[in-house]
Chains A and B, each alone.
Chain A
Amino acid sequence: MKAFTNQNARTLDEAVALAQQALRDGRSVSFVGGGTDLLQLMKDKVVNRPGSGDPDVLVNLKTVEGLDEVTSSGQVVTIGGLTTLEALVEHPVIRDRLTVLAEAAESVATPQIRHTGTLAGNVVQRPWCWYYRNGFPCYKAGGNRCFSIAGENQLHAIFGGGPSYIVHPSDLAPALVALDATFRVVGPEGERTLSGPDFFVLPSQDAEHENVLADDEVLASVALPAPGDGVRSAYHKIMDREAWTHALVSAAVVLDMDGDVCREARIVLGGVAPVPWRVPGAEALLAGQRVTPELAREVGAAAVAGARPLSKNAYKIPLTRGVVERTVLALATSA
């Protein structure tokens, strides 16, 4: 790797100040949590932040006190951005009450990466489109085209694409949106709290980025409303092998059940769109209903309404339909 400077931040304010100082000095900068993906991008010389090149300065967030804590206070569970994926898997409150998040974390990569990688890093990792990762000058690298449209688009978006057709790479992101998470962002102007739809951005809004973070802003934590007693949730990830890859399609499903009647449902898809893709039409079918196999099938069909496949990824439509149907039915009938 090229020479760069590592700067250990003690507080979030210091982290932001270090990043600002670097930018003022004309140096490119990146915040780093676990670093498993960032170091790979740097070794591969993939354009991480369009226009800024390889980072000259890494602002290390692992040294910020308390950024890896999970706190549960009354109606809110707050999870620090530096919480490792393994810690999410192991945490009793997350396992028991926010199961979809624990299952999503457990589905990521390998034990080695889960011990290193963090919640914030997983959520803001760059796309894994093979064109982007192999140095093509696409929208994500600051260029002006998407090579998947006329190319190898097996793994690309069936919803929300254009002008870039990447899929959002995070497993945690659909789970967090399904749990109605808010995202706390800290930057030079202080902090702001964003809902999922406000945090993630479609390529039609900003083709270069997957979220609203500026170069000097950090995803500090997420806050989740504590689920009520009838709430159960699950994450189901379909891969082209059993482990150690991204989702072809995934479904994060949260059901608020009253006996065998569903009060409210939230269904968010991964692997099919440039952002975590919520399907309100499918959710609405479940509200106030007893969940039968027939209804689950209808919910699956509603989840793919409006899908627009590219030349080689239409297989994702039946796959999505099936994973939604099965996950909803299994969750509703698990007592």
Chain B
Amino acid sequence: MEGKPEDDGGDLTRRGFLGGTGAALVVAGVPTLGGVGVEEEGVSTQLLEAVPQTAIRVTVNGTEHRVEVEDRWTLNEFLRDHIGLTGSKIGCNRGECGACTVLLDGEPVYSCSTLAVWADGREIVTVEGLERGGDVSPLQQAFMDHNAAQCGFCTPGQLMTATALLDRIPQPTTGEVREAMVGNLCRCSNYNAIVEAVLAAAATSGSGGAQ
């Protein structure tokens, strides 16, 4: 998907297009960052305050990032919009659907409902971090084998929650899987296949395969 040549307009990808648009927006946003006074005749002078930023150090999928983040960025905004990890999704952006689930120090959390600045010094794993040496994890393989993704939008979040479950309970019961997954909604209502896939992954490997 990445790296299409710019002159190849006929093959423009959605992600490439959105990436380009994002870059343009960032450029447009730059003047507000420095605290700029706007003076025009007949218009009252208004000082735009700098957006508060903080330097943080986080490890994402094993790679350390030392970055300046705006205090208001959610962890999800940081991951998706600023370091290009678009695996975790925004479904509701209000801590209800679970599509944004990532692992924070090994525990599943809603990345839309915590701030990047609060992740300082901590370790994050996203769905991009599940593969090992180019191979998908046993859990990911089980999701494919059992058609656990329909539209696929909730899948990254489902995978992260299930990964955390299998790390904690390598051989869960059906009830334990259902209980652990209540915070991940699937609008295709593919719940039975998702539970089947998690149980199958547990049976084949005894582990979800994170870290």
Q: Do A and B come from one complex?
A: yes
Q: Which of B74, B108, B117 contacts A115 (CB 8 A)?
A: B108
Q: Name the interface size band of chain A.
A: 20 to 34
Across the interface, B71 reaches (CB within 8 A) one of A5, A43, A86, A243, namely: A5
Cβ of A35 and Cβ of B118 under 8 Å apart? yes
Given A6-B54, A112-B183, A115-B107, A39:B161 Cβ within 8 A: no
A2 touches B (CB below 8 Å)? yes
Partner of B114, one of A3, A116, A243: A116
Is B113's CB under 8 angstroms from A40's CB? yes
Determine if A35 and B71 form an interchain contact, defined as CB atoms under 8 angstroms apart.
no
Q: Are A113 and B114 in contact (CB under 8 A)?
A: no
Whether the pair A62, B118 counts as a contact (CB closer than 8 A) is yes
A112 and B108 contacting across the interface, CB-CB below 8 Å: yes
Binds A, one of B8-16, B58-66, B93-101, B202-210: B93-101
CB distance from A85 to the nearest CB of B (A): 12
Q: Which residue of A lies closest to B165 (CB)?
A: A111
Which B residues are in CB contact (< 8 Å) with A109? 183
Mark contacts of A77-93 with chain B using CB atoms, 8 A cut-off: 1 yes-contact digit, 0 otherwise: 00000000010000000
A315 partner residues in chain B, CB cutoff 8 A: none
Query: Which residues of the partner chain B approach A1 to less than 8 Å between Cβ atoms?
Result: 72
In the complex with contacts A5-B52, A244-B182, A112-B110 CB distance below 8 A = yes
A36 interface residue (CB < 8 Å to B): yes
A residues 40-79 in Cβ contact with B at 8 Å:
40, 43-44, 58, 60, 62
- Please state if A6 and B51 are interface contacts (CB–CB under 8 Å): no
Interface contact A3-B117, CB-CB below 8 Å: no
A-B contact count (CB 8 A): 79
Closest to B111 in A: A112
Q: CB distance B183 to A3 under 8 Å?
A: no
**B180 interfacial by beta-carbon distance below 8 Å:** yes
Point out the residue from B51, B74, B93, B101 that lies within 8 Å of A112, measured CB to CB.
B101
B115 CB-CB contact with A under 8 Å: yes
| Those of A1-56 within 8 Å (CB) of chain B | 1-6, 34-36, 39-40, 43-44
CA distance A113 to B51 in the complex (A): 28
B123 interface hit (Cβ, 8 Å): no
Does the CB pair B115–A3 fall under 8 Å? no
Is A204 an interface residue when CB atoms closer than 8 A count as contact? Answer: no
What's the Cα separation between A191 and B109 when bound, in Å? Answer: 33
- A35 pairs with B113, CB closer than 8 A: yes
At the interface, yes or no: B49 with Cβ under 8 Å from chain A? yes
Bound-complex Cα distance A40 to B93 (A): 8
Q: Which of chain B's residues have a CB closer than 8 A to the CB of A244?
A: 182-183
Q: How far is it, in angstroms, between the C-alpha of A86 and the C-alpha of B109 when the chains are bound?
A: 12
- Chain B residues whose C-beta falls within 8 Å of the C-beta of A4 in the assembled complex: 52, 71-72
Q: Is B167 an interface residue (CB 8 A)?
A: no
A195 sits at the interface (CB 8 A): no
Are A116 and B113 CB-contacts (below 8 A) given A4-B71, A36-B95, A110-B98? yes
| Residues A6 and B183 in contact, CB atoms below 8 Å apart | no
Find the A residue at minimum CB distance from B50.
A3
Q: Are B118 and A60 in contact (CB under 8 A)?
A: yes
Q: Are A40 and B52 in contact (CB under 8 A)?
A: no
Contacts of A96-114 to chain B: CB distance below 8 A: 109-113
Chain B residues lying within 8 Å of A58, measured Cβ to Cβ, are: 71
- Cβ-based interface call for B196 (8 A): no
Known: A111-B180, A111-B182, A112-B161. 14 other contacts (CB 8 A): A3-B72, A6-B52, A6-B71, A34-B114, A36-B95, A36-B110, A39-B115, A43-B93, A86-B107, A110-B182, A111-B164, A112-B183, A115-B107, A244-B183
18 contacts between A and B (CB under 8 A): A3-B71, A3-B72, A4-B52, A5-B71, A6-B54, A6-B117, A35-B115, A39-B113, A39-B114, A40-B95, A43-B94, A60-B118, A62-B118, A111-B164, A113-B95, A113-B110, A113-B113, A115-B108
B-binding residues in A (CB < 8 A) = 1-6, 34-36, 39-40, 43-44, 58, 60, 62, 86, 109-113, 115-116, 243-244
CB-CB nearest 10 A-B residue pairs: A110-B183, A6-B71, A243-B182, A5-B52, A115-B107, A3-B51, A36-B113, A112-B183, A1-B72, A112-B110
Interface on B for A, CB 8 Å cutoff? 49, 51-52, 54, 70-72, 74, 93-95, 98, 101, 104, 107-110, 113-115, 117-118, 161, 164, 179-180, 182-184
